[in-house]
């Protein structure tokens, strides 16, 4: 039984890694199409680096990711704090509202944001679809995730610690800065990391909220693939996969160390 399970597991893992490995392999393939390995080459990588648009898309992706992560982490952390500590009218409603970006299929989210921006353009004259609208869209789904992650961490926090701080003379912000935040930090960091990952990876919401000049890497890959698969895209993908894998492995090694 054990061996059967092991064999099955092996097959599944192979299934999971196969496509990626193929892409990596093909990125070094001399031939433009087909899978027959005709020769090793770095041409495609060269072409990639020589393409100025790719650099622009890369920067766009990073910009969107960092800005949106920053904003959503701040918003989400504060919101989580408020939800956990205070009671106020409409709290239940807000919590359900929070679940929507998490649960809703990407398409619907993208569509709703598109409508929002169109409506805003009608009523206020702005914004046109651009990198800004992409960032706004990303923040929206990131906030929900960050809030939920930070909230679960805050719930583990002993309220007596904050009470002790207030008892000893710490005012609102002081309590937050010296006690709550340091203790909630792992949750905040995890939330921020999650938000970053979601943003870098996002396609659908970006698709609906991006205007001309606001292309990100996932968008570029999509349109390239629609035109026809090119090894240049393979090269780009390999690089992305490599970088992601590297950082993830790093994160994994670090997290094991802390134990």
Partner 1 sequence: MNEAATPFQRFFRVLVTVGPGGLWLLLFVLLPTLLVLAASFLTRGPYGELSGPWGLHNYARVLEPLYLEAFAQSLLVGALATLLSALLGYPLAFYIARHPKRDLLLFLLLLPFLTNFLIRVYAWLVLLQREGLLNAFLEAFGLGPYAFYPSFFAVLLTTVYTFLPFFVLPVYASVERLDWQLLEAAYDLGARPFRAFLHAVLPQTYPGLFAGSVLVFIPAMGTFVVADLLGAGRVVLIGNLIQQQFGVTRDWAFGAALSVFLMGFVLLSLYLYARIQGERGLEELV
Partner 2 sequence: MAADVLVRLSGVRKSFGGVVALDGVDLEVRRGEFFSLLGPSGCGKTTLLRLLAGFDTPDAGRIEIAGRDMAGVPPYDRPVNTVFQNYALFPHMTVEANVAFGLRMKGLPQAEVRRKVAWALELVDLLGLERRYPRELSGGQRQRVALARALVLEPEVLLLDEPLSALDLKLRQELRVELMQLQRRLGKTFIFVTHDQEEALVMSDRIAVMRAGRIEQLGLPDEVYERPKNRFVADFLGRSNLLPARPHPQGAETPLGPLRLREPLSREALLVIRPEKIRLYPLGNGVPARENLVRARVEEIVYTGAENQYYLRAGEVRLLAYTLNQDLQEPGAEEFAYGEEVLCYLPPENLVVVHE
* 113 forms part of the interface with partner 1 (CB under 8 A): yes
For residue 127, is the peptide bond before it cis, meaning its omega torsion is within 30 degrees of 0?
Answer: yes
How far apart (Å, rounded) are the C-alpha atoms in residues 135 and 99? 20
Q: Which of 237, 243, 241, 238 is nearest to 222 (CA)?
A: 237
Q: How many residues bind partner 2 (CB under 8 A)?
A: 17
* 46 forms part of the interface with partner 2 (CB under 8 A): no
Least Å from the CB of residue 161 to partner 2: 5
**List 70, 94, 132, 183, residue binding partner 1 (CB under 8 A):** 94
* 252 forms part of the interface with partner 1 (CB under 8 A): yes
Q: Is the dihedral of CA 197, 201, 204, 207 positive or negative?
A: positive
Q: How long is the chain? A: 259
How far apart (Å, rounded) are the C-alpha atoms in residues 212 and 223? 13
* 58 forms part of the interface with partner 1 (CB under 8 A): no
| Cβ contacts of 214 within 8 Å, gap of 6 or more | 60, 129, 130, 131, 133, 134
Least Å from the CB of residue 74 to partner 2: 21
Q: Which of 200, 176, 188 is nearest to 67 (CA)?
A: 200
* 161 forms part of the interface with partner 2 (CB under 8 A): yes
Binding to partner 2 (CB under 8 A) within 175-214 occurs at: 178-179, 182-183
Binding to partner 1 (CB under 8 A) within 188-227 occurs at: 197, 200-201, 203-204, 208, 217-218, 221-222, 225-226
Partner whose footprint covers residue 191, from partner 2, partner 1, none (CB < 5 to 8 Å by kind): none
Q: Which residues bind partner 2 (CB under 8 A)?
A: 158, 160-161, 163-171, 174, 178-179, 182-183
């Amino acid at each position: 039984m054990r061996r059967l399970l092991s064999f099955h597991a092996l097959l599944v893992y192979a299934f999971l890694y196969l496509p990626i490995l193929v892409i990596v392999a093909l990125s070094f393939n001399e031939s433009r199409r087909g899978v027959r390995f005709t020769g090793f080459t770095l041409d495609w990588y060269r072409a990639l680096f020589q393409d100025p648009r790719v650099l622009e898309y890369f920067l766009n992706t990073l910009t969107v990711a960092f800005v949106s992560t920053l904003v959503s982490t701040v918003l989400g952390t504060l919101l989580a704090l408020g939800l956990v500590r205070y009671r106020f009218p409409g709290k239940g409603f807000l919590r359900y509202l929070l679940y929507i970006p998490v649960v809703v299929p990407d398409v619907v989210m993208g569509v709703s944001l598109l409508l929002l921006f169109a409506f805003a353009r009608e009523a206020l004259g702005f914004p046109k679809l651009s990198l800004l609208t992409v960032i706004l869209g990303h923040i929206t789904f990131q906030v929900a995730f960050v809030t939920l992650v930070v909230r679960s961490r805050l719930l583990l926090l002993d309220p007596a610690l904050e009470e002790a701080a207030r008892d000893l003379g710490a005012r609102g912000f002081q309590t937050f800065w010296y006690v709550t935040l340091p203790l909630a930090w792992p949750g905040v960091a995890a939330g921020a990391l999650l938000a970053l990952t979601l943003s870098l990876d996002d396609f659908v919401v970006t698709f609906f909220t991006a205007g001309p000049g606001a292309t990100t890497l996932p968008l570029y890959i999509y349109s390239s693939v629609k035109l026809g698969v090119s090894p240049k895209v393979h090269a780009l993908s390999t690089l992305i996969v490599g970088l992601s894998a590297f950082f993830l492995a790093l994160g994994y090694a670090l997290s094991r160390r802390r134990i």
